[in-house]
Chains A and B, each alone.
Chain A
Amino acid sequence: MTALRPDLAVIAANVAPGSRVLDIGCGDGALMAALRDGKQVDARGMELDPHDVAECVAKGLSVMQGDADSDLIDYPDAAFDYAILSQTLQTTKRPDKVLDELLRVGRQAFVSFPNFGHWRVRASLLWNGRMPVTRLLPIAWYETPNIHHVTVSDFRDLVEAKHLTVEGAWFLSGDKRISDAAASWRAEHAVFLLSR
């Protein structure tokens, strides 16, 4: 088995064994398969791309083709122990509403996103005056699916405004952990575990 993407590895390490999980934007199902095989997790997925859904079905995973912006509404309240949204928040139309839905269908929610406050991004904008194209945000502004760029500080503000509890936060540069203090400018990637 190939190693999980660093943010997914953090999530996988912190999901309780035997729990019920909904992975929204689950891609080819790598995290779900790891949770199922390693932790006996009952994992369900949602994914927009039919090729990825087919890939998941081929892995024996239960995945619904659907859109985080519109289709979470079909899930009952508290149906899952965890709702997971990895590298997808910044592609949704209304990240704040998606966050509400995550904590409606899940008792807790893992949210991971690329940090737009990373120093490379800041430097690129500052020195070049152009929208940054980085390792984690590799697509030019006109064709990127990321329509709501967010920084660690922005996300903390949203969490506070919504009176959510941060149960855990992990900040990564590559696959290395970054201290909370330096996260806002040094983290390429953030993972939050939230509850209401």
Chain B
Amino acid sequence: MADAEALLAQSHVLEHAAPLALDGGQALTGVRVAYETYGTLNADKSNAVIIFHALTGDQCVASPHPITGKPGWWVRMVGPGKPIDTDRFFIICANVLGGCYGTTGPASLGPDGQPYAMRFPVITIRDMVRAQVGILDALGIEQLHAVVGGSMGGMQALSFAANWPERTRAALVIASTARHTAQNIAFHEVGRQAIMADPKWKGGDYYAGGKGPDKGLAVARMAAHITYLSEEGMHEKFGRKLQDRTEKTFGFDADFQVESYLRHQGLSFTDRFDANSYLYITRAMDYFDLAEEVAGGEGGGRLADAFRASKARFCLVSFDTDWLYPTAESRTIAHALNAAGAPVSFVELSAPFGHDSFLLDVPALDRVIAGFLKQ
């Protein structure tokens, strides 16, 4: 990853001077937003692109992760000469509100000097975006060249385009949805209940004494990870192959490779993520319903109305093996944009990796992203 190292990342923290008014009715004071930038902002400040990260992502989109040391989560997409070209664009990527990498979240200290834990207010996708719009204000960027996001990042990109329509010329939404379905919410609830059932969760007040609810968080991650893959991909990778043995043990060890893989995914996740952040961010995703958000009432609103004021170009991408946010979800958004007369492109790409396809090697995605941003 030579070019990843050569890519100069700058770390910043925005301190919101005024309290951040939240959708839930509360106001959060002293909000800090940690973000990275790549490339150079041009003189008329017209080449900025915000990349919004997914549920367990972070601001290190193209630079090594501070804890794991692994390359950035989208280093294959972001860099000099890459589809999101740092030679041309000034890239901003922030850690979301409620996160655990420098932006204010449940692990941050409240006004009384104690971690917020479950006193942290429940936030929404729009609240996450609101916190990041502050970065644009601070940098004097009136209008972005584009907003880009996959999965939860796509929800933020949609929310941005709908709620701050003047502030971006384009929105690229990958493997995402305009609202969480009952099935999406159900999977998240399994994860949250796993965390809260861990005795070490202690009602969220685990920050003082040693380890948190790692077992619960690992189970949450394991369950979620299944939803990120496709059945074909899983079968191809693991099948029913046994792990480090030739026979079944007739016990509950990780006999199968797929079990071993999931356990590893779950455990390694606990080293880099805060359990309470997981609760808050999944909740924000569950509450997401763009039509309802814009209509301002529960259960109401036409999705097309969300885009009435937008003059941005849109591009929606889905993957044929993604069953978490299947193609139909992207189509729904595309139809709403069509009805609103917005210039919109939509394409379903073929890839074997399920929902995770947007993070993996899918050359067709590179071409779509590069082509869409080039304009």
Give chain A's interface residues, CB within 8 Å of chain B: 42, 44, 50-51, 53-54, 56-66, 74-76, 79
Interface 1/0 per residue, B243-254 and A, CB below 8 Å: 000000000000
CB-based contact B338/A54 at 8 Å:
no
Q: A57-B372, A58-B367, A58-B368 are in contact. Are A64 and B339 (CB under 8 A)?
A: no
CB<8 Å pairs between A and B, sample of 18: A51-B364, A53-B346, A53-B347, A54-B368, A57-B368, A57-B371, A58-B371, A59-B371, A60-B372, A60-B375, A62-B344, A62-B345, A63-B345, A63-B346, A64-B344, A64-B346, A66-B346, A74-B335
Closest to B313 in A: A62
B340-374: CB near A (< 8 Å → 1, else 0) gives 01011111111000000000000010011011101
Sorted nearest first, the 6 A-B pairs with minimum C-beta distance are: A58-B371, A60-B375, A62-B343, A53-B347, A64-B346, A57-B371
Central interface residue in A56, A62, A63, by most chain B CB within 10 Å? A62
Which of A54, A61, A66 has the most chain B CB atoms inside 10 A of its CB?
A: A54
| Among A44, A50, A61: residue with most chain B CB under 10 A | A50
Report whether A44 and B346 are in contact in the complex, using a CB–CB cutoff of 8 Å.
Answer: no
B interface, CB within 8 angstroms of A: 313, 315, 334-335, 338-339, 341, 343-350, 364, 367-368, 370-372, 374-375
Other A-B contacts than A53-B347, A54-B349, A56-B345, 8 sampled, CB-CB below 8 A, are A50-B348, A51-B364, A54-B367, A57-B315, A57-B368, A63-B347, A65-B347, A74-B335
Distance in angstroms from A57 CB to nearest chain B CB is 5
Chain A-chain B contacts (Cβ-Cβ < 8 Å), number: 60
What residues of chain B lie closer than 8 Å to A57, measured between beta carbons? 315, 345, 347, 367-368, 371-372
Partner of A50, one of B349, B371, B374, B375: B349
In the complex, which residues of chain B have a beta carbon less than 8 angstroms from the beta carbon of A79? 341
Nearest chain A residue, comparing its CB with the CB of B375: A60
